[in-house]
Chain A
Amino acid sequence: MGSARLYATVAAGGFRRYATYRVATAAGVFTNTVFGLILVYTYLALWDERPHLGGYDQAQAVTYVWLGQALFATLAIQGGGFETELMERIRTGEVAIDLYRPADLQAWWLAGDLGRALFQLLGRGVLPFVFGALFFPTALPHDPVIWAAFAVTIGLAMVVSFGIRFLVALSGFWLMDGTGAVQVLMVTGMFFSGMALPLNAFPQPLGDIVTLLPWSALLQMPADVLMGRTDPLFAFVFQAGWAVVLLAVGRLVQGAATRRVVVQGG
């Protein structure tokens, strides 16, 4: 398929674009490690007071922290992927170039963002996670099948993350300034993904609600699969379901945005 090769090239480009910024990557690894340490000691203090909070023991809580740091940039949980770039292109009208290309806008940016995510998983995610696993007691599985299922949940989480941010980026077609939308993305990402506190430690009924939202597909699902707390099949269905819904909505909004541009100008 010709278009598969096109999007593979776009994804490879996305990977290499981020790979060129080595100092930024090193700084990111350092930041995620430091944040991981801060959070780990906070969690340890919290779990000392409230053992088995959210059903996690201390090792599981520590594992959750390092996983969060590993996936923070990978899943652009608080933004920082393609969305600011796309919004800028919408604002300046450069999106016109993307539109006249014989390629689909959504697939183009999805491919590029998957390339970015893969780079950030390897370049920024692995090291803090290994650091955490070496210096702290963690709860990691020995079964390779679980690791394989975990890898799948990360792949699906990347698509869900893209789906959310694609919608945020498209809001630029209607908003004069996307700063607000990006800030909303940042706050919701931090809170609803469980970046600050695992979703299962949330008080009820808030806990039940947030686990149904798409953000729980980002960090909570891979974490629960890795620690054997969720049936992988359930996780796959949940994540894939949100991915399909978000991509479909993105497609509808993209259609409306394109019509608007095509009829009304940039």
Chain B
Amino acid sequence: MSEGATVPESAFIEVDRVEKVFDVRRRTGFLQRELRRVRAVDAISFTVARGEMVGYIGPNGAGKSTTIKMLTGILTPSGGRLRVAGIDPSRERTRLAHRIGVVFGQRTTLWWDLPLIDSYRLMHRMYRIPDGRYRENLDRLVELLDLSALLEVPVRQLSLGQRMRGDIAAALLHDPEVLYLDEPTIGLDVVSKARVREFLRELNTERGTTVLLTTHDLQDIEQLCSRVMVIDHGRLVYDGALAGLHEAGESERTLVVDLERELPPVEVGEAARVVKVDGPRQWLAFPASESAAPLVARIAAEYPLVDLSVREPDIEAVIARMYQDRETARETVVQAPGNS
């Protein structure tokens, strides 16, 4: 059954110029409605190969969840072509459901009032998992996610981290070929996060499950994904290796200087700009591609320098800059003339 579709291994998930346009009606007065057309996803194209683990990031409202919903088939694209394992998700949602797993960090698929094991028995029936395979998978997931002590505990009594592990197991009992994770580490403490990440890494390397991970936590991406896609205002603004983000984001390094006393912002011309002053300490931003040496030499020569340090750009700052640049570049709400 699972070999039904003939998909080239190179493109397990195919997204070709996919768009999603929402019509938002807003009351502007008595009996007056304004119709706004919001492009939540704007002609996005990408492919994900079988066994890849891809990070999908972007600010709130960028279109991440909309993309995930289209990939699961609960939203129909307004345009473009979408295939997951050769299946058109919105047309054959139920058939696809047997081959994908979904975890929503802020929502649970588990039965709130009942012991965890009851939800798993339900998955057993819902996905029609053969008995032997169900038991095998359950045993494996219970061991890997350390759930044995929790199986008889009602879900409402689980901590957030425990519940998340329970949800991940529920999504994997039917051996999905691809797992979509929407914010799997949101709200978790450091230990729980590490545990979830470790599990996902193993799942991907040992079982070859394709993983598409949506997150705000860039550590998730740094620790798990070799490839990252950045979406903003419904458009894919970056798709590539994590390392390449720095160049794409025109990232800057920061030189932190401690002067002898409080002074007006340091003047070094085009080489760097002061981004922050706090007493005798000043922060200077300069392009990551430039060497820090001439800048340090110049400041040491012209100012009473006591101490200094250079900070590498962290990915978080790089992405924040990426979002900001685009924010100022364009406001993308298209006014539609229609009324209806």
Contact = CB atoms under 8 A, between A and B. Distances in A.
Interface of A: 2, 5-6, 8-10, 13, 16-17, 20-21, 94, 96-97, 99-103, 261-265
A263 B76 contact: yes
Interface string B85-110: 00000100110011000101001010
B74 interface: yes
Contacts, number: 66
19 contacts: A6-B125, A6-B128, A8-B125, A9-B122, A9-B125, A10-B122, A96-B69, A96-B107, A100-B72, A100-B73, A100-B97, A102-B97, A102-B98, A102-B126, A262-B75, A262-B76, A263-B76, A264-B22, A264-B23
B114 A16 contact: yes
B127 A20 contact: no
B125 A261 contact: no
Interface string B28-68: 00000000000010000000000000000000000000100
Given A8-B125, A10-B122, A97-B107, 10 more contacts: A2-B125, A6-B126, A9-B125, A21-B113, A96-B69, A102-B126, A261-B74, A262-B74, A263-B75, A265-B66
A13 B128 contact: no
Nearest to A261: B74
A100 B76 contact: no
A103 B125 CA distance: 10
B183 to A, nearest CB: 14
Contacts of A17: 111, 113-114
B93 A100 contact: yes
B238 to A, nearest CB: 25
A97 B97 contact: no
Contact of B74 (A16, A20, A100): A100
Contacts of A103: 126
A100 B102 contact: yes
Interface of B: 20, 22-23, 40, 66, 69, 72-76, 90, 93-94, 97-98, 102, 104, 107, 109, 111, 113-114, 118, 121-122, 125-128, 154
Given A6-B125, A16-B114, A102-B97, A265 B75 contact: yes
A161 B74 CA distance: 29
Contacts of B20: 265
Nearest to B124: A9
Contacts of B22: 264-265
Contacts of A20: 113-114, 154
A262 B77 CA distance: 9
Contact of A5 (B76, B114, B125): B125
Nearest to A103: B126
A13 B20 CA distance: 37
Contacts of B122: 6, 9-10, 13
Nearest to A108: B126
A102 B98 CA distance: 7
A158 B93 CA distance: 31
Contacts of A8: 125
A97 B105 CA distance: 12
Max chain B C-beta neighbours (<10 A), residue from A10, A21, A100, A101? A100
Contacts of A97: 102, 104, 107, 109
A101 B101 CA distance: 10
Given A9-B121, A262-B76, A265-B22, A102 B127 contact: yes
A96 B74 contact: yes
Contacts of B75: 261-263, 265
A-B pairs, 10 with minimum CB distance: A6-B125, A102-B97, A17-B113, A9-B125, A102-B94, A2-B128, A100-B72, A99-B74, A100-B74, A5-B125
